[in-house]
């Protein structure tokens, strides 16, 4: 069964519902995972998604900041939402797809928004960066990693806020002291990948020697011309789904849409 999953940091789902609507009408993934929805659960635009055929929705939101959601054309048997580092800051939601979704063997979809980490890459003076490092440390022993390395069929997506590889940023040398590409973040990010045996789906389609970005700053006068991007959004699968990914697209053009997010959608198609 072909099963398509999109991930997109939308930077306020209600503000950007017009471009979300256009995206879903044109690309129609089976499931859309959103990050930075920036609204409490009761204010999530359920009706808008259901009108578009996405009747099954799991959200984990809060007022004004963070927030994640999974919207699906297919039913899921259960959903979950966990918190990390002793904070209730709406950074995770999951859903299990099984026979009701047409799958013979269940697949768990994990959607994360990892802390950005602020501007100063020093945990001694920047609590936001310390939180990010602690989050990554805690994620290593999280049940999703334990289950993935243990043989579960899992897909993990989201704005993971780390650009780990040299060509995941516009300038490796200049970005080494910039939050998202510092050696300590990359090291901890790699430890999370190793803990779950996670497979980098995007780099399975684009060689590590090629530039690959999903985010361009609002600060750039001409984001396309300067092209100072980073790959902050990721799609991973557990070892049990090795080779299941059939297609992957980064919708770079979405950065130029009306009132865009600074992130663009990533779509992966799996044979499940």
Q: Are 244 and 204 in contact (CB under 8 A)?
A: no
Q: What is residue 51's three-state secondary structure?
A: helix
Q: Residue 82's domain spans which residues?
A: 2-271
pLDDT of the residue at 247: 98
Q: Are 5 and 236 in contact (CB under 8 A)?
A: no
User: Exposed, middle or buried, 222 (CB in 10 Å: 0-12/13-18/19+)?
Assistant: exposed
Give, rounded to a whole angstrom, the gap between the first and last alpha carbons of the chain. 5
Instruction: Tell me the sheet residues that pair with 266.
Output: 7, 250
The Cα-based distances of 93 to 14, 119, 123, 243 in angstroms read 19, 26, 27, 25
Tens digit of each residue's pLDDT, the chain (272 residues): 999 999 999 999 999 999 999 999 999 999 999 999 999 999 999 999 999 999 999 999 999 999 999 999 999 999 999 999 999 999 999 999 999 999 999 999 999 999 999 999 999 999 999 999 999 999 999 999 999 999 999 999 999 999 999 999 999 999 999 999 999 999 999 999 999 999 999 999 999 999 999 999 999 889 999 999 999 999 999 999 999 999 999 999 999 999 999 999 999 999 99
Distance CA 30, CA 50 (A): 13
CATH number for the domain that contains residue 260: 3.60.10.10
The tally of domains found in the chain comes to: 1
pLDDT of the residue at 179: 98
Distance CA 193, CA 173 (A): 23
Tokens (6 digits) for 57: 């929705």
Q: Are 37 and 69 in contact (CB under 8 A)?
A: yes
Residue partners of 221: CB distance under 8 A and separation at least 6 = none
Q: What is the pLDDT of residues 230-264, one digit of tens each?
A: 999 999 999 999 999 999 999 999 999 999 999 99
53: which DSSP letter? T
Nearest to 239 by CA among 201, 190, 189: 201
Nearest to 185 by CA among 200, 198, 168, 197: 168
Instruction: Tell me the sheet residues that pair with 59.
Output: 69
pLDDT of the residue at 221: 87
């Amino acid at each position: 069964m072909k099963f398509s999953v999109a991930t997109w940091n939308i930077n306020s789902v209600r503000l950007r519902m017009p471009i979300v609507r256009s995206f879903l009408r044109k690309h129609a993934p089976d499931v859309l995972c959103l990050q930075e929805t920036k609204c409490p659960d009761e204010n999530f635009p359920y009706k808008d998604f259901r009108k578009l055929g996405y009747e099954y929705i799991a959200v984990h939101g809060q007022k004004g900041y963070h927030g994640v959601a999974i919207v699906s054309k297919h039913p899921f048997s259960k959903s979950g939402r966990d918190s990390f580092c002793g904070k209730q800051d709406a950074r995770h939601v999951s859903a299990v797809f099984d026979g009701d979704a047409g799958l013979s063997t269940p697949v768990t979809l994990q959607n994360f928004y990892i802390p950005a980490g602020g501007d100063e890459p020093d945990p001694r003076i920047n609590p936001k960066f310390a939180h990010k490092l602690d989050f990554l440390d805690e994620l290593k022993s999280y049940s999703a990693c334990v289950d993935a390395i243990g043989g579960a069929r899992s897909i993990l997506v989201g704005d993971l806020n780390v650009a780990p590889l040299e060509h995941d940023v516009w300038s490796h040398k200049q970005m080494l002291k910039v939050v998202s590409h510092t050696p300590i973040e990359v090291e901890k990010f790699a430890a999370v990948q190793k803990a779950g045996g996670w497979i980098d789906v995007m780099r399975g389609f684009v060689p590590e020697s090629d530039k690959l970005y999903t985010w361009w700053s609002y600060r750039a006068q001409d984001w396309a011309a300067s092209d100072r991007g980073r790959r902050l959004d990721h799609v991973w699968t557990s070892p049990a789904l090795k080779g299941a990914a059939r297609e992957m697209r980064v919708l770079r053009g979405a950065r130029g849409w009306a009132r865009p997010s600074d992130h663009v959608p990533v779509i992966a198609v799996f044979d499940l």
